[in-house]
């Protein structure tokens, strides 16, 4: 387990060793270096889609999945406070 310490005025450390970055932007940049799929530093990226892909996703049924039922979902809890 890594312990992150950020006690001012000391720089952030993990297990007593200083990190190479001191800002959140620096951490996000490093994450993008390690895992390119995390490259959007703002966190607001939305991957493009298409109506064809959306239709395929909605029509897909996993192999071995049970048939869907038309009955309404019912909560198993009859009294929340008991």
* Distance in angstroms (rounded) separating the CA atoms of residues 20 and 26: 8
Q: Tokens for 27?
A: 């951490």
Burial class from Cβ neighbours inside 10 Å (0-12, 13-18, 19+) for residue 19 reads middle
User: For residue range 18-42, what is the model confidence (pLDDT) as tens digits?
Assistant: 777 778 788 878 888 888 777 765 6
Residue 32 pLDDT? 81
User: For residue range 41-56, what is the model confidence (pLDDT) as tens digits?
Assistant: 566 666 777 889 888 8
Tokens 């929340």 found at:
80
Given a contact cutoff of 8 angstroms between Cβ atoms, the answer to whether 33 and 20 are in contact is: no
Given a contact cutoff of 8 angstroms between Cβ atoms, the answer to whether 41 and 25 are in contact is: yes
Looking at the whole model, is its pTM more than 0.75? no
């Amino acid at each position: 387990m890594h312990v992150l310490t950020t006690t001012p005025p000391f720089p952030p450390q993990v297990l007593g060793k200083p990190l190479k970055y001191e800002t959140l932007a620096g951490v996000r940049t490093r994450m993008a270096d390690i895992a390119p799929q995390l490259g959007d530093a703002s966190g607001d990226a939305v991957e493009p889609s298409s109506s064809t892909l959306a239709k395929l996703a909605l029509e897909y049924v996993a192999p071995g999945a049970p048939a869907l039922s038309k009955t309404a979902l019912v909560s198993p809890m009859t009294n929340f406070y008991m």
